[in-house]
């Protein structure tokens, strides 16, 4: 008994000591984070230059990563927020102490609608009669698209510039699944709904090839027109350069054809900038980054009129756990519904802009968010600003808004749904040798969305198709009601077809071509706010360091990012296997293969 009491007491003491150490550790971590959180206003010195590092992944909104920052972890998947980049460029244009914009381009991952937003901000910056200079050791096509708007485009003498056109290379997994004994039973509505082809086909259907050809051609034409206008090079010439593989051509070729203006090494750039600043070439150039400039209190707006900007990016899921399994918990319907309900009740918020960059996801979650958008619209204007993609379930939730703004290169529409139901009976019984027997009271008592004992029969597949058909009819009705057109008109442009923003305007799926500035302007107008007398408030709210710490401890997000980097093209098949048992079978999703830039 004495031994039991002694050991029990020791255990309790040990737990208490461990708890004290953990709390003390959190206090130390929190203090370190607080001290390292450089949020003090930045003083911008005279003759300063805004430096934009155009590299890494550009997302719609990027909150500070307190954990990695404090630990000094190198971020292999560097991310920047589009809102931070554009906001800094706009501030720099109005700041008298900033004389120019220096774009330092590198390896870049972003969609063309995102790049259009940045490029337009650069063009607006030039209207302030300040210069823009771009430099790179290597220009990716997407980076060059932005940098071509600069006054001067500089390149390392041994550098490269990639201009190759746009392609889309879908991956087909039918044979891979067959090798492990899995067959996907697919039911869908819409001949253009191509997301399921990866499970059932070995190549693109003619319908998918038709729509893909159209949207990549439309995007490429926008890129060509913009570069042509800025660089004063004909579109025909640009196409010839792309066919001649500019990435393998020397700097002399690039300069001869006016794709660049000058060659310089990296350590010579500051001297060149000093000539523009009319200073001695050996002086240090005062550079200010986007993050630092955004911390400046200069030009900050405080108003009783607030416009909420709600960022929606990634897959649409019902809950955080589903998103974690899929490697993407971007738009969680349960959280977004709560957030929109709070915004609706906040009388200080006069209008809402929902920024969407998503290929959709869970059909039920999309319906939940659509319902909240409609309820929100009943109390205040709701404007959708579409990024690179707002398709399928993402278009579903957008359809209930007051007004929709899209870029010409936005991929949208894809009005259709599908269901993918894994038949794993061959895997379980033939590959693994597991046998099943069965006793049941009704003929479908052993039916399961994830079949392991037997394939689906014809009657069950008919029921599944009817279920999907009802979902499609509801989707079409939501679009018809929101866009104030007939269901017949919706079905003529639906069938799961993907449209660019330019086409979507013509067929009345969107109301206006533009980006966030146009969306905010429309929201202010609809809310009867005059003279831009409003303050923007970003949602969802940024997580505190403690929330980041607890979430990091409970998720494998960092591991997932490293797997994406390591596996490359094999990442998607890996995720597919992980998703089979967890993903909602009914999806309003548009699978667009990453368009190379």
d(CA 414, CA 494): 6
- The β-bridge relationship of strands 382-391 and 286-289 is unpaired
- pLDDT tens-digit series, residues 463-498: 999 999 999 999 999 999 999 999 999 999 999 999
**Which tokens in the block code for residue 249?**
């051509």
pLDDT of residue 505: 97
d(CA 552, CA 555): 5
Is 549 or 161 the better-scoring residue by pLDDT? 161
pLDDT of residue 3: 53
Question: What is the CB neighbour count within 10 angstroms for residue 538?
Answer: 15
Beta strands in 324-465, from DSSP E residues, in sequence order: 331-332, 349-358, 360-362, 382-391, 403-406, 411-413, 418-423
Does residue 40 have a pLDDT over 70? no
Local confidence band at 553 (pLDDT 50, 70, 90 cut-offs): very low
pLDDT of residue 27: 47
Task: Assign 408 to helix, strand or coil.
Answer: coil
pLDDT of residue 531: 79
Angle between helices 557-567 and 571-579 (to 10 degrees): 140
Q: b/e for 33-53, b at 16 or more Cβ within 10 A?
A: beeeeeeeebebeeebbbbbe
Is 322 or 225 the better-scoring residue by pLDDT? 225
Q: Which long-range contacts (CB under 8 A, 24 or more apart) does 459-464 make?
A: 461/185, 461/187, 464/185, 464/187, 464/419, 464/421
Span 356-373, mean pLDDT?
A: 95
pLDDT of residue 325: 46
Local confidence band at 446 (pLDDT 50, 70, 90 cut-offs): confident
- How much is the mean pLDDT over the chain? 85
Does residue 222 have a pLDDT over 90? yes
Does residue 17 have a pLDDT over 90? no
Span 399-411, mean pLDDT?
A: 97
d(CA 96, CA 555): 45
Under 8 Å between Cβ of 377 and 353: no
d(CA 494, CA 166): 25
pLDDT of residue 23: 47
d(CA 374, CA 369): 9
Is 35 or 387 the better-scoring residue by pLDDT? 387
Given 61, 91, 188, 193, the catalytic residue: 193
Local confidence band at 220 (pLDDT 50, 70, 90 cut-offs): very high
Span 304-327, mean pLDDT?
A: 80
Most confident of the following: 17-26, 436-445, 557-566: 436-445
Rg (CA), the chain: 27
Local confidence band at 554 (pLDDT 50, 70, 90 cut-offs): very low
How far is residue 367 from each of residues 152, 316, 360, 372, measured CA to CA in Å? 48, 10, 11, 9
pLDDT of residue 571: 59
Under 8 Å between Cβ of 331 and 587: no
Most confident of the following: 39-48, 58-67, 173-182, 493-502: 493-502
Closest residue by Cα to residue 64 from 264, 292, 282, 374 = 292
Does residue 420 have a pLDDT over 90? no
pLDDT of residue 570: 55
pLDDT of residue 427: 86
Span 187-215, mean pLDDT?
A: 92
**Percent of the chain predicted with pLDDT > 70:** 80
Does residue 327 have a pLDDT over 50? no
Closest residue by Cα to residue 68 from 540, 538, 541, 561 = 561
- The β-bridge relationship of strands 418-423 and 183-188 is antiparallel
**Which tokens in the block code for residue 480?**
């018809």
d(CA 70, CA 50): 25
d(CA 35, CA 33): 5
Does residue 25 have a pLDDT over 70? no
Is 220 or 583 the better-scoring residue by pLDDT? 220
Does residue 39 have a pLDDT over 60? no
- pLDDT tens-digit series, residues 252-290: 999 999 999 999 999 999 999 999 999 998 899 999 999
Is 300 or 214 the better-scoring residue by pLDDT? 214
d(CA 441, CA 435): 21
Under 8 Å between Cβ of 286 and 32: no
Instruction: Tell me if residue 279 is catalytic.
Output: no
Given 392, 398, 414, 584, the catalytic residue: 392
Does residue 37 have a pLDDT over 50? no
pLDDT of residue 183: 87
pTM, full prediction = 0.85
450 preceded by a cis bond (ω within 30 of 0): no
pLDDT of residue 86: 96
- pLDDT tens-digit series, residues 97-144: 999 999 999 999 999 999 999 999 999 999 999 999 999 999 999 999
Under 8 Å between Cβ of 493 and 415: yes
d(CA 408, CA 500): 6
Most confident of the following: 39-43, 153-157, 328-332, 427-431: 153-157
Instruction: Tell me if residue 193 is catalytic.
Output: yes
How far is residue 210 from each of residues 154, 164, 277, 498, 589, measured CA to CA in Å? 38, 21, 51, 10, 19
């Amino acid at each position: 008994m004495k031994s039991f009491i002694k050991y029990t007491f020791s255990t309790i003491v040990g737990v208490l000591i461990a708890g004290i150490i953990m709390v003390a550790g959190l206090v130390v971590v929190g203090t370190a984070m607080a001290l390292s959180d450089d949020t003090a206003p930045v003083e911008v010195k005279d003759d300063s230059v805004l430096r934009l590092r155009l590299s890494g992944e550009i997302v719609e909104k990027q909150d500070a990563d307190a954990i990695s920052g404090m630990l000094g972890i190198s971020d292999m998947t560097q991310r920047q927020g589009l809102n931070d980049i554009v906001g800094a460029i706009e501030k720099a244009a109005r700041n008298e102490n900033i004389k120019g914009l220096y774009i330092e381009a590198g390896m870049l991952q972003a969609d063309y609608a995102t790049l259009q937003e940045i490029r337009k901000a650069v063009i607006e910056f030039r209207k302030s009669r300040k210069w823009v200079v771009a430099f790179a050791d290597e220009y990716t096509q997407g980076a060059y698209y932005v940098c071509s708007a600069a006054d001067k485009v500089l390149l390392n003498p041994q550098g490269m510039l990639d201009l190759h056109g746009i392609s889309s290379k879908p991956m087909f997994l039918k044979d891979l699944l067959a090798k492990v004994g899995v067959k996907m039973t697919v039911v869908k509505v819409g001949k253009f709904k191509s997301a399921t082809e990866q499970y059932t086909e070995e190549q693109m259907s003619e319908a998918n090839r038709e729509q893909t050809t159209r949207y990549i051609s439309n995007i490429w034409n926008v890129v060509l027109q913009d570069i042509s206008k800025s660089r004063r090079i004909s579109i025909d010439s640009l196409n010839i350069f792309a066919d001649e593989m500019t990435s393998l051509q020397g700097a002399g070729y690039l300069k001869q054809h006016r794709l660049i203006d000058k060659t310089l090494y990296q350590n010579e750039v500051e001297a060149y900038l000093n000539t523009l600043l009319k200073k001695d070439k050996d002086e240090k150039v005062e550079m200010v980054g986007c993050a630092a400039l955004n911390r400046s209190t200069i030009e900050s707006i405080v108003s009783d009129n607030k416009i909420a900007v709600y960022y929606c990016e990634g897959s649409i899921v019902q809950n955080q756990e589903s998103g974690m399994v899929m490697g993407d918990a971007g738009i969680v319907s349960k959280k977004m519904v709560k957030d929109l309900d709070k915004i609706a009740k906040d009388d200080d918020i006069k209008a809402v802009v929902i920024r969407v960059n998503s290929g959709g996801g869970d059909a039920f979650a999309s319906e939940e968010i659509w319902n909240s958008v409609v309820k929100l619209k009943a109390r205040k204007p709701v404007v959708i600003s579409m990024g690179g993609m707002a398709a399928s379930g993402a278009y579903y939730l957008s359809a209930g808004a007051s007004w929709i703004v899209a870029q010409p290169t936005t991929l949208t529409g894809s009005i259709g749904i599908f269901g993918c139901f894994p038949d794993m009976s061959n895997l379980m019984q033939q590959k693994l040798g597991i046998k099943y027997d069965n006793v049941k009271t009704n003929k479908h008592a052993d039916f399961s969305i994830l079949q392991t004992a037997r394939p689906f029969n014809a009657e069950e597949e008919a029921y599944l198709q009817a279920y999907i058909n009802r979902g499609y009819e509801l989707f079409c009705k939501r679009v018809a009601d929101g866009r104030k057109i007939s269901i017949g008109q919706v079905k003529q442009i639906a069938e799961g077809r993907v449209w660019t923003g330019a086409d979507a305007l013509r067929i009345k799926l969107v109301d206006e071509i533009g980006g966030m500035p146009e969306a905010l302007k429309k929201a202010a107008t609809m809310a009867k706010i005059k003279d831009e007398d409003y303050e923007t408030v970003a949602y969802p709210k940024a997580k505190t360091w403690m929330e980041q710490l607890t979430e990091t401890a409970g998720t494998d997000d960092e591991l997932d990012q490293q797997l994406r980097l390591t596996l490359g093209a094999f990442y998607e098949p890996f995720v597919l296997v992980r998703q089979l048992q967890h993903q909602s079978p009914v999806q309003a999703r548009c699978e667009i293969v990453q368009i190379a830039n």
